[in-house]
């Protein structure tokens, strides 16, 4: 029995068990670029999707209504700042952003440091 306890604890040291963190954000979609933006996301760069997953993002969805884009992201990594910096250094991700960024513009009231503006959770059915 002691061996099984030891083995179980050894395995736990190598398994990442992180509680998912949810992030929601919003940005404006330039109407003249809306179709191009949707076309890009209908067939995203596979290297970008791979990088998103490598950076601990397990779910990521974007919705559109009129001139607004709304996203929800689930992060299960160990170090959010490190993973986002890693993504920002990736050449393929930067190539993707050069395509998508001109389609967007900050919402009124966004911080200077924000492109996509963070949103605060106001209700959760499961809390």
29-72: per-residue pLDDT in tens?
999 999 999 999 999 999 999 999 999 999 999 999 999 999 99
**Amino acid 127: pLDDT:** 83
The pLDDT mean for the chain works out to 91
**Token reading at 28:** 């404006």
Task: Calculate the dihedral angle through the C-alpha atoms of 45, 115, 98, 100, rounding to the nearest 10 degrees.
Answer: 50
Residue 16 above 60 pLDDT?
no
Tell me which of 32-41, 44-53, 88-97, 107-116 is least confident: 107-116
Residue 12 above 60 pLDDT?
no
Detail the DSSP E strand segments found in 7-124: 21-29, 57-65, 68-75, 104-105, 117-118
pLDDT band per the 50, 70, 90 thresholds, residue 87? very high
**Amino acid 13: pLDDT:** 56
**Amino acid 55: pLDDT:** 97
Residue 17 above 80 pLDDT?
no
**Token reading at 114:** 């924000």
Tell me which of 15-24, 45-54, 106-115, 118-127 is least confident: 15-24
Which residue matches tokens 């490190």? 82
């Amino acid at each position: 029995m002691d061996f099984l306890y030891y083995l179980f604890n050894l395995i736990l040291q190598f398994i990442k068990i992180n509680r998912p963190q949810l992030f929601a954000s919003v940005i404006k979609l330039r109407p003249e670029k809306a179709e191009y933006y949707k076309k890009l996301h209908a067939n995203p760069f596979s290297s970008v999707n791979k990088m998103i997953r490598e950076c601990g993002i397990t779910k990521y969805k974007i919705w559109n209504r009129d001139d607004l884009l709304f996203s929800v992201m689930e992060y299960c990594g160990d170090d959010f700042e490190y993973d986002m910096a890693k993504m920002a250094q990736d050449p393929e991700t930067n190539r993707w952003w050069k395509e998508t960024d001109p389609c967007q513009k900050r919402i009124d009231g966004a911080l200077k440091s924000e492109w996509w503006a963070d949103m605060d959770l106001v209700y959760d059915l499961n809390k």
